[in-house]
Structure 1
Amino acid sequence: MNKILLNAAVLLLLLPAPSSAIITVASEIDRLQEQNNHLIIALFISLLLFGFITSVLTNRSTKVTKLSNELNQKKHVENYIDILSHQIGSHTTIIVSAAKSLLDRQLDPKKNTEYLKKIIRRGGELNTLTDRLLELAKIDQITSIDNPDNFNLTMLINKTINDFSGRLLAKNIFVAFDKTTPIGINSDKILTQEAFENIINNAIDFSPIDGSINIQLAKSNNTITVKVLDQGAGIPEYAQAKIFERYYSTARPDTNQKGNGLGLQFVKKIMDLHGGSVTIDNRKNTNGVIATLQFPQ
């Protein structure tokens, strides 16, 4: 509007006749006002188009983001379903082994009771594990264990060794673990047991008949360390960088069959959640590997 008035004033100064100047100025004002209205209308239409395009793009972006999140969530859930399937297999192996012991052997009542308790305990732990993994599957951004348990790790290791007694006996493998002093640990008990069982299971798989497994437990500098040493063939050089990759597995020496490649990945996930670490290296100057689990306290 100021620009219109300024133009009108300039015209007024330039025009020679007052009456004609007024008419001309009025006409110019009308013309400029009409031009200004067209600009306003054009600007308004442009703003409407901009708003519409922005809305469409935002809606598309929201849909793409939602679809991406759904795909990521689906992949996340599928990962845990795979892991859950693997862990169910691990538990059922022990349950079936204990059940076979009840059927195949003439056991005294005390032994019968022991195997029945093992089956019941394993069934309960399997239910707990299933619930825990389903909970973890829902939490995509979990980075740590918020409510750790406090328990005797020495006792848990001894119980786990006992749970594998059937498999150890089948290959005549001796387990050396003479730790009797209770060592308390703050960690998720079920997941800690699962991590340790996967390591022991691998040690048995790759150990030769009549071999031995040495388990070491120590606490120092606010760190609890569990080491499992076996006498297997060790990790081939080509596989050393891949052992924690999902689905990667090497053949077992006695069956030449591969696992599903989920066990060690599951162990690494557990240790990462605890802020700890897991390493598996070939032993020096002898056959076998040494698996090391470290839990910060």
Structure 2
Amino acid sequence: MSRSMGKIIRYTTNISKGKNVVAPKIRQVEFAELSQAIEKLRVDLEGREYVEEYINTMAHELRTPITGIRTTAENLLMPMSHSQRERFVNNILDANKKMELLVNRLLSLSRIERRDQLESVEKINIESLIENVLTSPSRAGRISSRGIKFEFNIEREFIINAEKLLAEQALANIIDNAIDFTPPNSTINIKISESNTHVIIQVSDQGKGVPEHARRQLFRRFFSSARPDTGKRGNGLGLRFVKKIMSLHGGTISLKNRFMENGAVATLKFPL
């Protein structure tokens, strides 16, 4: 009995600390029922919190572009030159693009969080995967405009078993973060290595690193740090998305400050 109670105490303590834990297996019927009831309550509360947070974030994030579109549309009713009209129309298109990006990211996260297994797993060459991500036209443009250089530490060919689209999205997210947070004319390093159990991808930037207050919130839905050059924040869904992708692959993601150097290092571990 004391052992079962101890399991429940540890379980509830971990829940209170925000840890993602599984309900303990308990033989005694009374304690097993209590454990199941706590687990059901936790899931229900998390679901309600997610919905509330989802709605609040959607409202907040969509309000800015919607207001911008309305204001711009009202201005278009006024007499103006062709160049002014063209600029206002482009503002509307930009605002629409931001709304579409947010909605698509939320839908992608919703779909991936409902999945419990991979589809279409194949052998993937990591170097080719990195090349696909870096040569994407929009990403290549950002890299060039910021004068960022990439250094590679890849000693040989590394292969992982993964769902290609998801693996590419996970890698793209951490590279995009590195681009956002590293200063212009700096270097991002990508290192591939292997342990006894995992293929390890590390992306290191030369930014300011992860602030102390942000370290425990990095993988929360909608949490985002301000970009150092613009002060703007992302939608706070990228790292959460990556964490779910890695979980589906039986792997992990971590994001820590570099040792004795400026910047952060994101680490993806895919099982062998």
Same fold? TM cut 0.5: yes
Structure 1 stretches lacking a partner, 5+ long: 1-67, 83-128
Is the CA contact 1:144–1:275 (under 8 Å) kept in the aligned structure 2?
no
Partner Cα separation in structure 2 for residue 230 and residue 277 of structure 1: 19
For 1:235, which of 202, 210, 220 is the aligned residue?
Answer: 210
Displacement of 1:138 after TM fit? 8.8
Is the CA contact 1:194–1:267 (under 8 Å) kept in the aligned structure 2?
yes
Counterparts of 1:73-88 in structure 2, within 5 Å, are none
Partner Cα separation in structure 2 for residue 223 and residue 148 of structure 1: 17
**TM-score of the superposition, structure 2-length normalised?**
0.58
The residue number in structure 1 matching 2:111 is 137
1:251 aligns to 2:234 (yes or no): no
Partner Cα separation in structure 2 for residue 180 and residue 280 of structure 1: 23
Q: Deviations over 1:138-175 (max 9, x none)?
A: 983x3332541212111111221222321111111110
Q: Structure 1 residues 233 and 138, CA, compared in 2 at 3 Å: closer, same or farther?
A: closer
For 1:189, which of 150, 160, 164 is the aligned residue?
Answer: 164
Partner Cα separation in structure 2 for residue 183 and residue 151 of structure 1: 8
Letter in 2 for 1:189: K
Displacement of 1:178 after TM fit? 4.9
**TM-score of the superposition, structure 1-length normalised?**
0.53
The residue number in structure 1 matching 2:253 is 278
Is the CA contact 1:281–1:291 (under 8 Å) kept in the aligned structure 2?
yes
- Secondary structure of the residue aligned to 2:135 is helix
For 2:128, which of 152, 155, 177 is the aligned residue?
Answer: 155
Partner Cα separation in structure 2 for residue 231 and residue 247 of structure 1: 24
Counterparts of 1:182-221 in structure 2, within 5 Å, are 182-221=157-196
Structure 2 stretches lacking a partner, 5+ long: 1-43, 59-103
- Paired positions, count: 177
Partner Cα separation in structure 2 for residue 220 and residue 243 of structure 1: 25
Q: Structure 1 residues 210 and 220, CA, compared in 2 at 3 Å: closer, same or farther?
A: same
Partner Cα separation in structure 1 for residue 130 and residue 197 of structure 2: 20
- Secondary structure of the residue aligned to 1:175 is strand
Partner Cα separation in structure 2 for residue 292 and residue 216 of structure 1: 9
Q: Deviations over 1:122-149 (max 9, x none)?
A: xxxxxxx99x959x83983x33325412
Is the CA contact 1:176–1:214 (under 8 Å) kept in the aligned structure 2?
yes
Partner Cα separation in structure 1 for residue 253 and residue 133 of structure 2: 19
| Coordinate RMSD, CA, aligned | 3.1
Partner Cα separation in structure 2 for residue 269 and residue 139 of structure 1: 7
Counterparts of 1:121-136 in structure 2, within 5 Å, are 133=108
| Rg comparison, structure with higher value | 1
1:223 aligns to 2:198 (yes or no): yes
Is the CA contact 2:119–2:163 (under 8 Å) kept in the aligned structure 1?
no
The residue number in structure 2 matching 1:165 is 140
Displacement of 1:268 after TM fit? 0.4
Is the CA contact 1:251–1:257 (under 8 Å) kept in the aligned structure 2?
yes
Counterparts of 1:17-28 in structure 2, within 5 Å, are none
Is the CA contact 1:155–1:182 (under 8 Å) kept in the aligned structure 2?
no
Amino-acid identity (%): 39
Q: Deviations over 1:214-263 (max 9, x none)?
A: 00011231311000000001111011100110000010001010111000
